[in-house]
Amino acid sequence: MRDGTSTADGLDGLDRPHSLDGGRLSARTATELSRLLRSGEVSAVEVLSDHLARLDEANGAINAVVNIDADGAMREAQRADRAREAGAPLGPLHGLPISIKDTASTTGFPTTSGSPRHANDVATADDLHVARIRAAGAVRIGKTNVPEHAAGSNTFNTLFGPTRNPYDLTRSVGGSSGGAAAALAAGFQPIADGSDMGGSLRNPAAFCNVVGFRPTPGVVPNTSTDVLSTLTVTGPLARTVDDVALLLSVMAGPDARDPLSYAAPTIDAPVQAVPLSGLRIALAPTLGGRTRVDPEIVESVERAARLLEDAGAEIVEVAPDLDGSVEAFRTLRAAEFFDAFGEDLDAGTESFVDFLAANIEEGRRLTAVDVLRAQQVQTRLVREAARFFDDVDVLLSATTSVLPFVVEDRFPRAVAGEPTTDYLSWMEPCLALTPLGVPGISVPNGFSASGLPIGLQLTAGPRRDARLLGIARSVVDVLPPSIRPLAV
């Protein structure tokens, strides 16, 4: 039963087909696998075995998953099977394979953050969201690759090397959750955790033809950092909206150690689709001209808007007032980076990639007044978001400014024919929205003329995460299927 042929049920009940071989267990969604596991039609060992086989086939070329512990994963799968056979209560992620983002700690695995200095830093405890994932029954395989210290949106580092796009091995997977997105696209796992500061869930999802969800700050508590911040959040990736909701339902929930966390409305999995008819959708492919975007991506957003209008939605061309957003993001991010890495930079205990070192130095030059003024801008933006989303249900925009670029280029040197200024400027379609404190999701939106994935970004009002998932569930149903053969 390892190849899944005895369980082939077609795509009934799935909210999105994908490019993987549908006859294999490793091609099934988490929602479908969960049903098969709970019914006993397949075992956790069988599910894991096919995902490990898929890793053997393609991870050498893609390099999405690092520090794999196949034996440990098999022991966890066997324990999951024994629990089902004993009639024990099964968690919502029972038997589902996962590798954890390599910036998050999980017991027994190194947490390297893509840095040689931390190559042997084996975790002795789980981060909160990882503990919740494990308690829900998931089976750990390894860690997913990241850029050095999750800086930037191209997944490469000197410890493990670059992660390559499953649709074109010469191209980037984005980042910083690039290994996670590539692992999903390649069929190495059905769900993945990630984090997002300036697009690190949304950007790689777009590059890899999967779904990445940035929750409202506080939906998933952050107990592993020393600074309270609304910039960085933890969230889920998957191949379907339903699977994203499944993982989010496990990760979400307040924790007293994070005063920003709160009890969000229940996340349904499967998602209850929100009808498109009557929705008021703001169309702003370039966020009202504030970001440069490749014309082919702009056209893909506009094409999606036409399909949504045909389905009954009202499309209005309007964007939120994002004045000062990019500048505030850059200031607050630089301050956080200096706080996190300044001492190591000064002591010479770590050799940082040049653009990260420059970002740390940028933080050193900031004054307290600079940071407070950036926080004032963010406060205004949060209030602007509340006003804007009182008038529209969702904002439709580009997830990325460019198509997946050549992986050896550390970042794109131009966007829409104009030079980029640094490794952050091309990420503005996502990072410009981060200070607003709102949820966002990237869903597959077809392929370019050259065969590369394109993402569509949907953003909703603060704390409307469940509603955004419901809207996204309906949106993917009217978009053309994002199916194209993988490179490996």
- Residues involved in catalysis: 101, 176, 200
User: Around Cβ 88, how many Cβ atoms within 10 Å?
Assistant: 11
Q: Which of 63, 58, 133, 147 is nearest to 98 (CA)?
A: 133
The answer to whether 93 and 138 are in contact (CB under 8 A) is yes
The answer to whether 172 and 146 are in contact (CB under 8 A) is no
Among positive and negative, which fits the CA dihedral 333, 337, 338, 339?
Answer: positive
Spatial distance between the Cα atoms of 442 and 167, rounded to a whole number of angstroms: 18
Spatial distance between the Cα atoms of 98 and 103, rounded to a whole number of angstroms: 15
